[in-house]
């Protein structure tokens, strides 16, 4: 497998962690209570730490003298390969939890398979990340149940979030050409193999939370090909500001 294909495959995983980590970091100091605020901030740090490991590997593979910071902060919007789900804005707490829950279920299933990759570095990153993502899944699943089976208002808001964000879930299982090459070379994970188990787990938690399963058959896509929503540009403007304003600065 050529390094250029492997790099694009890694972007498809790492960019999800970076963008969702950035979204969660925007909430630092704005949680509904201190414990939850700290928990979400720690989850953001977990995701950014995982991103660093992936980007360090990409920098090594590229052989262009790039650093993890160059890869994180100096790409243009179309070069990011994250799914549309993770770039959705922090509308309200219930919305944040549903977005997190929808991604966490997938993320853990992916890492469980990725730890068997024949690429030793990717396998090691996956094994190191599983413990963190297991906690993320427990956190978001518990909050889904609390909000869904809570007050009338919390139930209504979280149901609206489920209805809206559901249309972004199918993209998690789309495969790019680089994804297919990675699977053929036993480096990557065939995400289609995760799809049935993913929706089964979603349904189990949502039903326990007394939430309805959306029946839509229309899904949004584009992020894995670098075609993003309007929110992505604003997110990158915040994320990249310092590095683009003060190029090559050193702390």
41 pLDDT tier (thresholds 50, 70, 90)? very high
Is pLDDT at 170 greater than 60 in this prediction?
Answer: yes
64 pLDDT tier (thresholds 50, 70, 90)? confident
pLDDT in tens, 181-209: 999 999 999 999 999 999 999 999 999 99
| Residues 157, 209 contacting (CB under 8 angstroms) | no
Alpha-carbon Rg for the chain, nearest whole angstrom, is 18
Q: How far apart are CA 215 and CA 213, in angstroms?
A: 6
pLDDT in tens, 80-103: 999 999 999 999 999 999 999 999
List alpha helices for the chain, DSSP H: 3-25, 34-62, 68-73, 93-114, 120-148, 152-165, 177-184, 195-208, 230-245
Domain range annotation of the chain: 3-245
Share of the chain above pLDDT 90, in %: 88
**Which residues are within 8 A (CB) of 144 and not within 5 positions of it... i.e. 6 or more apart?**
97, 98, 101, 158, 205, 206, 209, 211
Q: Which residue has the tokens 């809570």?
A: 150
**Which residues are within 8 A (CB) of 245 and not within 5 positions of it... i.e. 6 or more apart?**
none
153 pLDDT tier (thresholds 50, 70, 90)? very high
**Which residues are within 8 A (CB) of 91 and not within 5 positions of it... i.e. 6 or more apart?**
161
| Residues 239, 22 contacting (CB under 8 angstroms) | yes
CATH number for region 3-245: 1.20.1260.10
**Which residues are within 8 A (CB) of 251 and not within 5 positions of it... i.e. 6 or more apart?**
none
pTM for the structure as a whole: 0.95
């Amino acid at each position: 497998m050529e390094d250029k294909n492997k790099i694009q495959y890694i972007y498809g995983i790492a960019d999800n962690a970076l963008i969702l980590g950035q979204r969660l970091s925007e909430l630092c100091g704005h949680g509904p209570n201190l414990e939850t605020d700290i928990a979400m901030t720690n989850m953001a740090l977990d995701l950014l730490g995982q991103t660093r490991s992936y980007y360090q590997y990409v920098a090594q593979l590229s052989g262009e003298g790039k650093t993890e910071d160059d890869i994180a902060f100096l790409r243009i919007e179309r070069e990011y390969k994250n799914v549309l789900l993770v770039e959705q804005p922090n509308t309200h707490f219930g919305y944040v939890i549903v977005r997190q829950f929808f991604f966490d279920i997938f993320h853990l299933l992916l890492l469980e398979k990725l730890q068997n990759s024949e690429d030793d570095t990717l396998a090691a990153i996956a094994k190191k990340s599983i413990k963190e993502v297991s906690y993320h899944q427990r956190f978001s699943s518990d909050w889904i149940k609390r909000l869904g089976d809570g007050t009338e208002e919390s139930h209504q808001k979280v149901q609206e979030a489920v209805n809206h964000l559901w249309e972004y879930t199918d993209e998690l299982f789309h495969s790019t050409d680089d994804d297919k090459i990675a699977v053929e070379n036993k480096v990557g994970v065939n995400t289609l193999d995760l799809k049935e188990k993913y929706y089964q787990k979603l349904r189990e938690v949502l039903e326990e939370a007394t939430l309805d399963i959306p029946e839509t058959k229309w899904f949004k896509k584009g992020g894995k090909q670098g075609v993003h929503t309007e929110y992505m540009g604003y997110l990158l403007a915040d994320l990249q500001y310092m590095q683009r304003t003060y190029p090559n600065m050193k702390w």
